[in-house]
């Protein structure tokens, strides 16, 4: 498969609405949309990524010159978390000898858990705000 797709990050819509980085920034170049669907895309053949976002009933696309952030996010999404038993055994092996692959795996697992906690906590916060709005009957 030539293309990879991730869910569109929230900051892209925010930047577009505020007309900040995406519209006038040097990091992104506006291009013609390919799929006409919200998302963050990566072309493996040409090694570039772009965002497609619906804005004012039209789809707009912005090319990102450096796809490293997309590849990092893709790695986080494809990670299978380690069990407590696996973490215990990896740490015990690392006590006796250094192994870059095992220490990298532990670090990657830590980043994955940290990343997921941020999204979980944000979801809880929005849920609490909506419940509070309903109690106060605010729209």
What pLDDT is stored for residue 27 in this prediction? 64
Q: What is the pLDDT of residues 53-72, one digit of tens each?
A: 887 788 888 888 778 888 88
Tell which wins on pLDDT, 14 or 42.
Answer: 42
Q: What is the largest CA-CA distance in the chain?
A: 60
In the prediction, which pLDDT does 25 show? 60
* Residue 134 pLDDT greater than 90, yes or no: no
Domain ranges within the chain, ordered by starting residue: 3-66, 79-136
Token digits for 80? 């299978």
pLDDT tens track for 20-51: 555 556 667 888 999 999 899 999 998 889 98
Q: Per-residue confidence at 114, pLDDT binned at 50, 70, 90? A: confident
Share of the chain above pLDDT 70, in %: 86
**Confidence check: pLDDT of 106 > 70:** yes
- Helices marked H in the chain: 10-18, 21-24, 68-77, 84-96, 100-136
Residue 10 reports pLDDT greater than 60: yes
Residue 18 confidence class, pLDDT cut points 50, 70, 90: low
Query: Residues near 23 by Cβ (< 8 Å), separated by ≥ 6?
Result: 15, 16, 30
């Amino acid at each position: 498969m030539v293309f990879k797709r991730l869910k569109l990050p929230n900051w892209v819509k925010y930047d577009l609405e505020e007309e900040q980085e995406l519209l006038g920034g040097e990091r992104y170049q506006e291009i013609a949309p390919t799929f006409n669907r919200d998302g963050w895309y990566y072309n493996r053949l040409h090694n570039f990524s772009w965002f497609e976002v619906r804005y004012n009933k039209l789809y707009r696309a912005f090319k990102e010159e450096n796809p490293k952030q997309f590849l990092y996010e893709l790695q986080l999404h494809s990670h299978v978390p380690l069990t407590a038993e696996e973490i215990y055994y990896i740490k015990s092996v690392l006590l006796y000898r250094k192994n870059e692959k095992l220490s990298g795996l532990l670090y990657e697992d830590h980043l994955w858990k940290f990343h997921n906690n941020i999204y979980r906590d944000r979801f809880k916060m929005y849920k609490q705000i909506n419940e509070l709005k309903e109690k106060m009957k605010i729209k």
